[in-house]
């Protein structure tokens, strides 16, 4: 099954997020990738954030309000994938599409990430179209990844049974318990700019985001696509 459409997470009422999401959507349009916006869960304490998407916080879970909102927003996307019954690529608002993400099959019970982080969007260019999946041991960031409806349902069932016990980035990318793949060559990036994840209201809390890629993400085709000047 191939990617059906993009689900772009944006924070209503936060102008930076709206602007980023529009930039992300424009990149989807450039590659004829259908998309829809998913309204982020925001400005809620952790227990309320998870409750808003029908889940509960596990007793030992510790994270910031922003991280809980991000995780809850991902849960909304997983539910939408189950509803559509098609694989989708989930894009955080700072993602940017640089190629066709619909040419490779997305396997069940796995996560496929589509690229790493860059400080400037023009610092990376795919060396060609996506040809295969390369398994990696660790990723960083849930900015651009795809799962199938089967995988989405498994993740939702797990949360309903156990509650939220670990952050979404750690669950899917940093300590994965299911196969994690990189699209090869990578076809998307996360464009590091001001982050809104820890904003406590519509007007303050943004800070510059400098996320480094896990070495495992830097497959040969990613390195070849990076511009050094």
- pLDDT of 149 over the 90 cut: yes
153 or 198: which carries more pLDDT confidence? Answer: 153
Give the pLDDT confidence score for residue 64 in this predicted structure.
Answer: 85
Q: Is the dihedral of CA 55, 59, 60, 66 positive or negative?
A: positive
Give the pLDDT confidence score for residue 125 in this predicted structure.
Answer: 96
- pLDDT of 229 over the 90 cut: no
- pLDDT of 176 over the 90 cut: no
Q: How confident is the model at residue 201 (pLDDT cuts 50, 70, 90)?
A: low
Look over the chain and give the mean of its residue pLDDT values, rounded to a whole number: 92
Segments forming the whole domain that contains residue 194: 5-225
Stretch 159-188: mean pLDDT, rounded?
93
By the 10 Å C-beta count (0-12 exposed, 13-18 middle, 19+ buried), 112 is classed as buried
Tell me the per-residue pLDDT of 25-60, one tens digit each, with 9 for 90 and over: 999 999 999 999 999 999 999 999 999 999 998 888
Give the pLDDT confidence score for residue 211 in this predicted structure.
Answer: 75
Structural domain count, the chain = 1
The domain that holds 49 is classified in CATH as: 3.90.550
Which secondary structure element, helix H or strand E, spans residue 25, and what is its range? helix 15-30
């Amino acid at each position: 099954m191939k990617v059906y459409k993009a689900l772009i997470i944006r924070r209503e009422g936060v102008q930076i997020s709206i602007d980023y999401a529009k930039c992300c959507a424009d990149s989807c349009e450039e590659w004829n990738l259908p998309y829809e916006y998913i309204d982020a869960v925001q400005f809620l304490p952790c227990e309320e954030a998870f409750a808003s998407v029908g889940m509960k916080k596990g007793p030992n879970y510790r994270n910031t309000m922003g991280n809980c909102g991000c995780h809850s927003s991902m849960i909304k996307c997983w539910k939408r994938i189950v509803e559509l019954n098609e694989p989708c690529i989930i894009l955080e608002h700072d993602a940017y599409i640089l190629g066709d993400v619909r040419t490779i099959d997305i396997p069940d019970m796995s996560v496929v990430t589509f690229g790493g982080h860059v400080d400037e969007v023009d610092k990376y260019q795919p060396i060609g179209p996506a040809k295969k999946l390369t398994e990696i041991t660790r990723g960083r960031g849930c900015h651009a990844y795809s799962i199938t409806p089967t995988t989405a349902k498994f993740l939702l069932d797990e949360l309903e049974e156990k509650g939220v016990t670990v952050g979404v980035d750690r669950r899917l990318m940093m300590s994965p318990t299911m196969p994690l793949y990189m699209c090869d060559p990578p076809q998307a990036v996360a464009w590091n700019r001001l982050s809104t994840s820890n904003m406590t209201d519509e007007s303050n809390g943004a800070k510059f985001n400098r996320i480094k890629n896990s070495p495992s993400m830097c497959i040969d085709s990613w390195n070849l696509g990076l511009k050094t000047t």
